Amino acid sequence: MNKDLLHLAIENLGKNLSIDIKYEIEYEFLQKDNYQIDGKLVFLNEIPFKEFSIEMKNNLSLSVLSHLIKLNEKINNLLVVSDYISKPLKEKLRQKNISYLDAAGNFYLKKENLFIYIETNKTNRNNFKKINKAFSPAGLKVIYNLLIVPNLLTKSYRDIAEQSTVSIHTVGKVIKELLRDGYIIKESEKNYIIRDKERLFQDWVTLFNKVLRPKLKQKNYESLKNKQELFDSVKQNDKMDSVGGELAAQILTDYLIAENIYFYTEDAFLDISKEHRLIPSENGSVRLIEKFWKSEKSSKQLTVHTILVYADLLDNPTPRNIETAQLLFQKHIKDYVKTTL
């Protein structure tokens, strides 16, 4: 839990209400029906709202909305606390009657006989930039691999670094930060396990699209083949084993008709474009993207992992893509990210 963020948000809420808020916080993970929260917040003042179950989310984005809706159904008096919440997302939270508080003290609460809505049109985004170092571009590579490779966290730092295409030093820093913020716990002297896999997944999706994706080498193309011909040639080529984006979602859900296609590759873009008759185009529907993990040579999997497909869909959040992302989560991700301790 990010304690500094929570204290700042409550302090600014008090300023907006013109009162000196007194409060207590229970810093512990609480669980109900397989849904986990970060702790409890109790206000000690004579004010009409007293106690909340708190869910902390840095850089809150649309990718976590479906998770928050389900959490709100299961957890009484849920309060979502974030450093920053965009106006469109605030509106969606209000539509779903999800209480929220941001670092500037903007606050929404609607219960029986109680309605509080504070919107100052201010943010504390510039004053609160303390982002977990684990979510740096290199750190996000490590986290992705910890999420998709079974038992990778039990391997040596060298093995994790090789799988994630980063330095051993980076792995050490990431493990330290994840441990500090409660994403992982120490099971024994040399063994760690992921404590809250869904929270780690949701935070990774949000920050992958904001932090790592823009740093990856990528280029748009148009295909001289029609989409079916391109798809067929990809299936027959072992160099193109990493289909992402809408095409991967179409393959996995049979729900979406792909308009844009992502291919993650470790090969030279020029070689791939020649082989598949792709021509550079700024607004092209085919995008080649630098691969940031190590694949098994024997892997016959055509698509990238479902959590990356999910992130790809939310990188282009059309209504259809959002629907498909939610379907993908229910069908392929929900059970996968359940934490078993």
Q: What is the CATH number of domain 3-118?
A: 3.40.1350
Q: What is the 3-state secondary structure (H, E, C) of 248-294?
A: HHHHHHCCCCCCCEEEEECCCHHHHHHHCCEEECCCCCEEEEECCCC
Q: What is the pLDDT of residues 222-277, one digit of tens each?
A: 988 877 787 777 766 655 558 999 999 999 998 888 888 899 998 899 998 988 88
Contact 79, 99 (CB under 8 A): yes
Of 282 and 26, the one with more pLDDT? 282
Q: What is the pLDDT of residues 179-212, one digit of tens each?
A: 888 889 888 777 888 988 888 898 898 889 888 9
Question: Can you give the length of the chain in residues?
Answer: 341
The DSSP secondary-structure symbol of 303 reads B
CA distances from 81 to 14, 105, 280 (A): 15, 10, 43
Contact 304, 266 (CB under 8 A): no
Contact 90, 103 (CB under 8 A): no
Q: Delimit the domains of the chain by residue range.
A: 3-118, 133-214, 216-333
Amino acid identity, position 211: V
244, β-bridge pairs: 262
Helices (H), 18-136: 65-74, 87-95
The structure's pTM equals 0.67
Amino acid identity, position 12: N
Contact 313, 305 (CB under 8 A): no
| Closest residue by Cα to residue 12 from 83, 69, 63, 78 | 83
Cα 211–chain centre separation: 11
Cα 210–chain centre separation: 10
Contact 10, 21 (CB under 8 A): yes
Q: What is the pLDDT of residues 51-101, one digit of tens each?
A: 899 998 877 877 788 889 988 998 889 999 998 888 888 888 998 999 999
Q: Which pLDDT score is estimated for 129?
A: 45
CA distance 220 to 180: 39
CATH code 3.30.1600.10 for 133-214? no
CA distance 183 to 13: 28
Name residue, tokens 């996968």: 336
CA distance 163 to 157: 10
Whether the predicted pLDDT of 28 surpasses 70:
no
Residue 28, class by beta-carbon neighbours within 10 Å (0-12 exposed, 13-18 middle, 19+ buried)? exposed
Q: Which pLDDT score is estimated for 240?
A: 55
